[in-house]
Chain A
Amino acid sequence: MAINVRLVTIVQILQIRSIPASDPRELGTMFDSVFRLCHRARVALLVLPLAFVVSLEAAEPKPLGLKSGDRVVFVGDTLIEREPLYGHWEAEIRRRLPGEAIVIRNRGYSADTPAGLSRSMFDAPPKGHERLLNSLKEVQPTVVVIGYGMSYSLEDDFDYVDGMAPFIKGMSELVAFAEGELKAKVVILSPVAHLKSKYVDPGKRLEHHLGLKAVTKELQTLAGDSRQFVNLYDATALLDSTEPPASDNGIHLNDAGYKATASLVADALVGKPSSAVVDGDGLKALTAAVRRKNELDFNRWRPQNWTYLYGFRRHEQGQNAAEVERLDPLILEADAAITPLTKP
């Protein structure tokens, strides 16, 4: 049985204390003033983690139970795009399934939205959406892991009180596409929390923090009871003052951050490991092999010089698109090289 560690933030404490706070906007102001108060009184913000309490919650839906032959695609914004640089999520998933051949691909795109806004390149936005869907289709996935929310929460017009409908609509359509057309199972990831950093004014950070929480709540509702939901927001809020830090800029995970969240993701996709798992140097080798595969795969699906290989100047270098396609067998080889390394 999965035990989910859940955080209750100050906001929840305030709610427990029956302070009328049904409108998150009021909450924001209140939250803000609490912190301005702390701020003015030179109370170190370090007290914040102390205000977190840990509670136990009922189990979420059963893990997906990945098995040999499954094909998983991760899609989302910068959270997803950067994960392959480190490879911890995939290494954690793979080591829990020793010897099983599972294909994992990443189609994350920086600052993307469920409408594929970042993928339009030279074209009008609908094209970005089309590219997003095609990039998923090409993987022929059995599982689609969707991680949008941070980019959305950072847009100028982000309104977590009244304005979340377009985002949730986009997410719903993406989920429907994955489950309908692709006939894949869907896992939804929440955005991570906005962790403390020296770059952002504390008041602004906490305001954003509230927004992310609201996004998380909406995504959890969308996931419902039938889909796996990974609450990275709550989990990462815990990492606010860990050493080494989980984030360099407060909103994106780094090597340590992806490592710290790997088991949560693997819990949802695989469940707890049933036997001994590869560790130590073995895990390092496994992670390195995953990264190598990821690098080849990135060069394949997001090749540099796209304009000349596939775009409107393909008459000049289109012959070299074949060079990119030569990556296909190399990626398969790299995949195959991972599987043996998953055995302890």
Chain B
Amino acid sequence: MASIGLRLSLATLMALFAWGSTTALFAQGAGLKVPEPDTDEELKRFQVSPELEINLWAANPLLAKPIQMNWDAKGRLWVASSETYPHIKSGAERADKIVILEDTNNDGQADKTTVFAEGLFIPTGIAPLENACYVANSTELLLLTDTDGDGKADKREVVLSGFGTEDTHHIIHTFRWGPDGWLYFMQSIYIHSHVETPHGVERLNGGGVWRFNPRTHELQIHSRGMINPWGLAFDREGWMFGTDGAGGQGIHDMIPGVNYAATPGVKRVHSGLNPGHPKYCGLEVVGGSALPDSWQNNLLTCDFRSQRIVRFEIERAGSTFTARQLPDVLRSTHVAFRPVDIQMGPDGAIYVADWYNPIIQHGEVDFWDKRRDKDHGRIWRLTAKDKEPVAKQDLTQASDEEVIEAYMQPSEPWQQRQATRIIVDKVASDKNHYTEATARWLRSHTEDGKAHLPDRYLEYFESGRREHLLRSETALPAGKPLDVAKSVLATGTPIAKSLSLRTLADLASEFPEASQAIYPFVNDPDARVRLEAVRALARIPKPESMVEALKVLDHPMDPTLDYCLWLTANELADVWLPALERGEIAITNPAHLRFALASVERSDIIKPLLQALEGEKLSPEDRITLLELLADVGPPEALNRVLAMALQEDRRPEHRRRLLAALASAANKRRVQPTEGREKLVALIDSSDESLRPLACELAGSWKLEAAREKLTEIALATESGDNRRGPALQALVRLGGAKTLATLDKLAGEDRPLSMRQMAIRLRSDIDLAGAARQAVAMLATMEQPQPGIDDLLRAFTTKTQGPSKLVEALADVDLPPETAKVAVSVARAAPKPDDTLIKAIETAGSLVGPQPPPTPEQYAELVAMVEKASAEQGEAIYRRERLQCVKCHAIGGAGGLVGPDLTSIGASAPVDYLLASLFEPQKAVKEGYHSITLVTVEGKVLTGIVVSRTDDEVVLRDAEGVLQRVNTDDIDDEAPGRSLMPVGLVDRLTKQEVAHLTRFLSQLGKPGDYSVGRELVIRQWEALAAPPEFQRLARSGIGPDGWLQTQNSWWKPITTLVSGQLPNHELPTLSLARWQSDNSGNSSHTVATAVIHCRLTVSQAGKVGLKLNSAKGLLLMHDAKVIPLQVQDDGTARATLDLPVGEALLVWMVEPSARDQGLRVEVVDLPDSQGRATPVVGR
């Protein structure tokens, strides 16, 4: 769809994330009512799941400002708390505390508090032992011990140090004991840690999960990435899950060695299980006899921005899991309720640490903002109705039998976790400690002479034993731990096998046969076990590891397996690639070789690649992939082979397209071209296959193929429209350059040509004759009384070049611009990657404009705040969706929308009105982490600004303000500087005050209970609609099959997102005039109706039947896989559909007749009873 008139080119709403530095603008408390810190008031504001009850367990003066909590085996709750946070006042003492809370009379409320330690510096993690605890203390991990039994720590050991503190809401935190007896903890994106341990130095730059073995002082990086990893828990089997307090991917399956979002310096990251979800922190897996059956093994996590606690059900799916959201655990309308940690307790209840603060920490909020609460804190307790609490047990006083009993009966997860830790500790110092007790337990629990021993017991028991054996002063019993691991592998469940595979990888350096023991499990029937084997092999740096890992390709793959195999291929590349080159290993299966070579972007794959291409068993698909790789890395001579194949008429057009694209990329990125046969490309410009023609034009340009000039000029100057070669032909001519190209462009810029053509000619000229193009552009603007479509693109051709602004300034001298046109020009200049003040001034002078509108005064802000209260969120949503504001293009709600700016799903629940307003008017003031842009200047003089998506030694990938990924070779970068917010200033200048109020009202409602909260239903929110040009409509009317819609050009599909309610507004759907397919699908063109063609995608994680729930079937046709899917209309007017889907991505095509529908289309994905099928809507593209 053509952009019109006032379209502004850059993102909106970039910065809306937390409160900004608005205190300077505002009278205290404007837009945010700081509540009275009354616990009854807070209690009243909870809406709790009907299955639960809530009570206050602890509050001031028992504690203040809890950040993290964990239980000890006596049933006492240890809490790390800080009144210093977020920043220490100069000269203030370090005065933060660890307190221990107890409910001594078992009445469901804490009645005793002990200050275990003081003098701490923003402690953000706590893991208790019996009379000691590990504490995160800024740069240090401390062990605080009470040696004399008076309940207070009197010994302070710095266990580890060197953790970064670049941001106090990212410093090490979230301590959890793993079932393996290791201490797990996390650090977040801005932290750079450098730690010496007796076993080596560990460095972690960016976010990630650490694991530390207190018995050996080994420190390892478990996994990297996530923006603010904050929440970590193990389920009843031992699988580890994580949440991200600043990312939007929900629950994460935490796989050892994997890189998640925002890992620095990697090409590919793995995603969470729920893309499009709000940020979550604190994670717990609940269960036990005091909770309902349907809650067993559920994951609970805190949506601290929206003041709610959410619940997920996890289920194994392929090599990973699905995490399906269940009804909320609780919600609050109290602005200071901030659930930051959640834990099962010794009585089987759920405990929630409430940090209690109307302001959440972010750098955007002044450290000393008076609205920050520095004093309060609560622990809330959630119990199930009609359930008896679990009898509390002090496991430190329990007999060995009781500990084994608690361990072996995982029905009470709290008891079982505490018992695990006790067992691992004891066994580490005395391997036989529980031998007798275990034997007795086994005898008493034997049925039919067969013990029901949980597999993982062996594993954890042995992990303790192995440490003991390795450290003992007796000779190593070679092979012993290996035997254990092998026996578990022979019979175990997937978790037991997985843990054993990790153990084998640990042992591989000492026991070479450990690696062979891993090999068979690459072929295990369970996909997760296969994945673990692939990951375990990554830790054994032998060429054979890769050969074996690739065998996983002989079994069904899924995205997680694909990622893990890719990761293993890359981690081992220095080992297997040289061995392959030297012929020391052979990868004979072409599919294996293709995967391996395609995984590593390195030039030394050439030799194996050429060998592989000699292979006779290659499938056409494998061959094309290998040739693409050859084009990526090969020398000019090698490219001849690629070109020869691309020119073969009998090859599939799709394959030929891929090869042409690979050749273009080689020419553009590496400046490498084939040495022979290039002139044959000219014929391809007229190929009988239309899809090849534009690519041939493009390649002719990349090669600067003079032989093609005549043909290209002919295409460029043709007067009939609709030739898909014109754009590429013009581009190619520009690359050929010279006077001939300028002459062609002059003709195209002539006044007899359509405006869009003239603009394109000027834009193209700017690449080769900047000054001339600037004169032509200014001349065009000077005659334009009202701004016309396309002038923003025209001007952007100049503002994205280093010399562009100055040439425009020169051309503007003594020229008058019509004021309305000048206004648009100014907004484009302001939105430039590097706004040039001289240019802005020059346009203002030429257009006789006054300067930019200053931001509102505090009084004006106050007036707006008052207006927002009475404004309409519904109208605000309509404004939000206006194309020229481009909010949707950059921001997502519920995952649907742009990725340029932060997701706004819960912005209203986390940000007060004053902050929202300030972010609209002054977007530079506060920018969310992960959304800081950089500006790059290339050696060619191009200026790019965007968010860094990934950065490696070779390449920087930016997401620009248009949402487009821009790849820049590191070698091509001339200069780099921190960029501005991608959200331009002055966006809302053109809105009326009332419109600003409506828009802000809408934003302020997002995430709050009500109509503007994204529910847990899997609503399809991201769609694409066919917005085809008129000539296509003629084609369409002549008849086109259901499949035909998808053959249309990509550029004709336009993204469209639903309203927050999940409905696609009828009036926003672009329509085609089509044969009435509903009553008469014969293609009778005399009877036509306005019809929208839209499609959506589902990610299918588990094959099978999946349901769709539609709000109405009126005027609707659904197609999948070229078949019409029947819609079953229900009594209430809603409709259902059933799809049978394979693993992967499913594309659903819909035809909608808007005039036949009284409400916008809303589609929900639902699981069907008795079906294994699982699918979720694709979001975030």
Contact = CB atoms under 8 A, between A and B. Distances in A.
A295 to B, nearest CB: 7
Interface stretch (B163-171, B271-279, B832-840, B874-882): B163-171
A17 interface: no
A204 B470 CA distance: 12
> What 7 A-B pairs have minimum CB-CB distances, sorted nearest first?
A110-B162, A111-B194, A118-B194, A308-B363, A199-B217, A326-B90, A304-B165
A237 to B, nearest CB: 16
Nearest to A118: B194
20 contacts: A45-B473, A78-B161, A111-B194, A111-B203, A121-B192, A154-B196, A199-B198, A199-B215, A199-B216, A200-B216, A249-B197, A251-B198, A299-B88, A304-B88, A304-B167, A312-B978, A313-B929, A320-B368, A324-B90, A327-B90
Interface in B155-178: 157-159, 161-162, 164-168, 171
B166 A311 contact: yes
Among A155, A156, A208, A305, the one with the most B-chain Cβ atoms within 10 Å of its Cβ is A305
A320 B23 CA distance: 14
A88 interface: no
B367 interface: yes
A116 B8 CA distance: 46
A109 B194 contact: yes
A306 B165 CA distance: 7
Contacts of A304: 87-88, 122, 138, 165-168, 171
B67 to A, nearest CB: 14
B1164 interface: no
B199 interface: yes
Contacts of A324: 90
A82 B89 CA distance: 23
Contact of B86 (A40, A121, A122, A305): A305
A327 B675 CA distance: 67
A306 B196 CA distance: 22
A67 interface: no
Contact of B194 (A39, A112, A248, A312): A112
Contact of A317 (B90, B366, B473, B929): B366
Given A155-B201, A304-B165, A305-B165, A323 B196 contact: no
Interface of A: 39-40, 42, 45, 77-78, 81-82, 85, 109-112, 117-118, 120-122, 150-151, 154-156, 194, 197-202, 204-205, 208, 248-252, 254, 295-296, 299, 302-308, 311-313, 315-317, 319-320, 323-324, 326-327, 330
A316 B122 contact: no
Contact of B195 (A111, A121, A204, A320): A111
A110 B192 CA distance: 11
Given A151-B201, A254-B157, A320 B366 contact: yes
Interface of B: 20-21, 86-91, 94, 122, 138-139, 157-159, 161-162, 164-168, 171, 190, 192, 194-201, 203, 215-217, 363-364, 366-368, 470-471, 473-475, 924-927, 929, 932, 978
Nearest to B170: A307
Given A304-B138, A307-B167, A330-B90, A81 B363 contact: no
Among B167, B171, B199, B363, the one with the most A-chain Cβ atoms within 10 Å of its Cβ is B363
A308 B166 CA distance: 8
Contact of A250 (B139, B165, B198, B924): B198
Nearest to A323: B90
Given A299-B88, A312-B932, A320-B367, A82 B161 contact: yes
A110 B161 contact: yes
A327 B92 CA distance: 10
Nearest to A292: B93
A305 B367 contact: yes
A186 B94 CA distance: 34
Contacts of A330: 90-91
Given A198-B471, A299-B88, A327-B90, A313 B927 contact: yes
Nearest to B168: A304
B165 A81 contact: no
A307 B198 contact: no
Contacts of B215: 199
Contacts of B90: 299, 323-324, 326-327, 330
A194 B198 contact: yes
Given A252-B196, A316-B363, 20 more contacts: A109-B162, A110-B194, A111-B196, A121-B166, A121-B192, A156-B201, A197-B198, A199-B199, A200-B199, A205-B198, A302-B139, A304-B122, A304-B165, A304-B166, A305-B363, A305-B367, A315-B924, A316-B21, A324-B90, A326-B91
B521 to A, nearest CB: 28
Nearest to A333: B91
Nearest to B143: A248
Contact of B200 (A112, A155, A199, A303): A155
Contact of B91 (A150, A154, A296, A316): A296
B162 A78 contact: yes
A75 to B, nearest CB: 15
Contacts of A151: 194, 196, 201
A42 to B, nearest CB: 7
Nearest to B94: A295
Contacts of A197: 198, 217
Contacts of B978: 312
Contacts of A78: 161-162, 196
Contacts of B20: 316
Contact of B196 (A199, A204, A251): A251
B161 A305 contact: no
Contacts of B195: 110-111
A81 B196 CA distance: 12
B198 A118 contact: no
Nearest to A328: B90
B87 A320 contact: yes
Given A122-B192, A305-B363, A39 B162 contact: no
Contact of A121 (B159, B164, B216, B473): B164
A78 B141 CA distance: 14
Contacts of A323: 87, 89-90, 367
Contacts of A326: 90-91
Contact of B198 (A40, A111, A249): A249
A301 to B, nearest CB: 12
B158 A85 contact: yes
A42 B86 CA distance: 54
Contact of B932 (A112, A205, A313): A313
Nearest to B217: A199
A120 B168 contact: no
A110 B926 CA distance: 32
A317 B367 CA distance: 8
Given A249-B159, A307-B363, A312-B932, A110 B165 contact: no
Among A42, A299, A302, A306, the one with the most B-chain Cβ atoms within 10 Å of its Cβ is A299
A122 B470 CA distance: 39
B167 A308 contact: yes
Nearest to B92: A299
B165 to A, nearest CB: 4
Nearest to B470: A201
A254 B164 CA distance: 21
Contacts of A121: 164, 166, 192
B157 A248 contact: yes
A8 to B, nearest CB: 24
A120 B193 CA distance: 11
A82 B471 CA distance: 28
Among B157, B158, B159, the one with the most A-chain Cβ atoms within 10 Å of its Cβ is B158
Nearest to B367: A320
A249 B201 contact: no
Nearest to B85: A304
Among A45, A82, A316, A326, the one with the most B-chain Cβ atoms within 10 Å of its Cβ is A316
B166 A110 contact: no
Nearest to A248: B157
Contacts of A81: 161-162
Contacts of A307: 166-167, 190, 363
